[in-house]
């Protein structure tokens, strides 16, 4: 595990605002089950998912990302041209090049922002947040960054593969990062990559090793593939330790965490690992039943949902944890800063609970 150093001499950086965008089209389990050869009941029992969103034919990842970014900027009251950085986490880019972030920069009119992509699959939003926070801490004066997680998995699925087709939806979530008062902001981050297990998740064809060809198309090499059992074991073996180490470095006990926002991979899998995390007083936030697994977007979408509902109060300790292809785990610990939604009433507190909308 590589720990991100915490000794940069700079002002704290915090999440100042959030935004999200979910496509209009709702896909229920019945439609997915018919193609995958399963039932609605089977999907709910195995995953906790009841519906997901699907991008319209004219919508690409950059379109979803720009919508989410625009909403976050509006909430923050920050103009696009005030951004120093735009970092887009995605594993379903518009095209191999240029970076999807460059297209998002253009769509937003953020002419002063350096823009680039991060691909850590479903850990991507935490990785992108970490990179952006470090860049902002090194900037002189007030500087702002826009972190976006966005994926359109419906374009790379084999809709007859029940291991993957039932899980994924399309969406985007965003956060504006900027300077904050002492005591607020990012308290620590931990990033872990196990490249020796990279074969568990991926799209085999379309890159430099297996360029697109008639053969790769015929063999379905451009579809997303996943070893579900292997992923479940990876999460159970690596997530508790990564979180424990992050909390130890921050000098905080698990009971100090108020909110846990995990990657929305599979509600059943998260439920299995949840008791092992030691977050006895935290609220576990799950939005997967309505949106499915939105890849890099899932943490950001969930964070925006609970933020806009007024569930996050100033000084709350919020833990974000992503896990996915690579294989990778990324966790970030935040002390929640005053934001545009700070006046909203806090609806949940106290003993351990699960929030499902």
Residues 158-198 pLDDT 10s: 999 999 999 999 999 999 999 988 778 999 999 999 999 99
Q: How far apart are CA 98 and CA 60, in angstroms?
A: 14
Q: How far apart are CA 164 and CA 158, in angstroms?
A: 8
- Mean pLDDT of the region 203-210: 92
Q: What is the pLDDT of residues 66-89, one digit of tens each?
A: 999 999 999 999 999 999 999 999
The answer to whether the beta carbons of residues 246 and 333 sit under 8 Å apart is yes
Per CATH, 2-182 and 186-356 having the same topology is answered: yes
Is 293 a residue of the active site? Answer: yes
From 61-65, 179-183, 246-250, the region with the lowest mean pLDDT? 179-183
Choosing from 29, 67, 122, 238, which is the catalytic residue?
122
Residue 237 has pLDDT above 70, yes or no: yes
Assigned architecture for domain 2-182: 3-Layer(aba) Sandwich (3.40)
- Mean pLDDT of the region 246-256: 96
Mean pLDDT over each residue of the chain, to the nearest integer: 91
User: Under the phi-then-psi rule, with left for phi > 0, alpha for psi from -120 to 50, and beta for the rest, what region is 164?
Assistant: alpha
Residue 181 has what pLDDT?
A: 80
Question: How many other β-carbons are positioned within 10 Å of the β-carbon of residue 44?
Answer: 16
- Report the length, in residues, of the chain: 357
For the chain, the structural domain boundaries read 2-182, 186-356
Q: How far apart are CA 59 and CA 194, in angstroms?
A: 33
| Eight-state DSSP code of residue 326 | T
Q: How far apart are CA 135 and CA 84, in angstroms?
A: 9
pLDDT band for 354, please (50, 70, 90 cuts). Answer: very low
Burial 69-97 (b: 16+ CB within 10 A, else e): bbbbbebbebebebbbbbbbbbbbbbeee
Question: To which CATH superfamily is domain 186-356 assigned?
Answer: Thiolase/Chalcone synthase (3.40.47.10)
Residue 10 has what pLDDT?
A: 59
Choosing from 67, 184, 259, 263, which is the catalytic residue?
263
Q: What are the distances in angstroms from CA 297 to CA 42, 121, 218, 223, 301?
A: 25, 10, 30, 19, 6
Is 341 a residue of the active site? Answer: no
Is 263 a residue of the active site? Answer: yes
pTM of the predicted protein model: 0.91
CA atoms within 13 A on the CB side of 244: 10
Q: What is the pLDDT of residues 319-332, one digit of tens each?
A: 999 999 999 999 99
The answer to whether the beta carbons of residues 122 and 150 sit under 8 Å apart is no
């Amino acid at each position: 595990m590589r720990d991100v150093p915490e000794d940069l001499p700079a002002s704290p950086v915090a999440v100042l605002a959030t935004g999200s965008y979910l496509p209009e089209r709702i896909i229920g389990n019945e439609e997915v089950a018919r193609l995958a050869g399963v039932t609605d009941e089977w999907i709910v029992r195995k995953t906790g998912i009841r519906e997901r969103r699907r991008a319209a034919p004219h919508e690409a990842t950059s379109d979803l990302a720009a919508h989410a970014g625009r909403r976050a900027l509006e909430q923050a009251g920050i103009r696009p041209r005030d951004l120093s950085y735009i970092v887009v986490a995605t594993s379903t880019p518009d095209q191999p090049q240029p970076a999807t972030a460059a297209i998002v920069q253009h769509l937003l009119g953020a002419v002063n922002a350096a823009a680039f992509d991060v691909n850590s699959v479903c850990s991507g939003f935490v990785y992108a947040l970490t990179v952006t926070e470090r860049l902002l801490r090194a900037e002189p004066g007030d500087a702002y960054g826009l972190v976006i997680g966005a994926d359109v998995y419906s374009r790379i699925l084999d809709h007859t593969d029940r291991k993957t087709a039932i899980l994924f939806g399309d969406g985007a979530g965003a956060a504006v990062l900027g300077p904050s008062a002492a005591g607020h902001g990012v308290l620590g981050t931990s990033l872990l990559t196990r490249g020796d297990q990279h074969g568990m998740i991926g799209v085999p064809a379309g890159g430099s090793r297996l360029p697109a060809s008639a053969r790769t198309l015929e063999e379905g090499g451009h579809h997303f593939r996943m070893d579900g059992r292997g992923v479940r074991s990876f999460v159970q073996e690596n997530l508790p330790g990564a979180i424990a180490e992050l909390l130890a470095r921050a000098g905080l006990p698990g009971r100090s965490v108020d909110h846990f926002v995990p990657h929305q991979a599979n509600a059943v899998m998260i439920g299995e690992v949840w008791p092992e995390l030691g977050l006895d007083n935290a609220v576990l936030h799950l939005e997967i039943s309505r949106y499915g697994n939105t890849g890099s977007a899932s943490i950001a979408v969930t964070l925006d949902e609970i933020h806009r509902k007024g569930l996050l109060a100033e000084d709350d300790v919020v833990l974000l944890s992503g896990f996915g292809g690579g294989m990778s785990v990324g966790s970030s610990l935040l002390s929640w800063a005053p934001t545009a939604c700070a006046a909203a009433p806090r609806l949940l507190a106290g003993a351990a609970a699960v929030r499902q909308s």
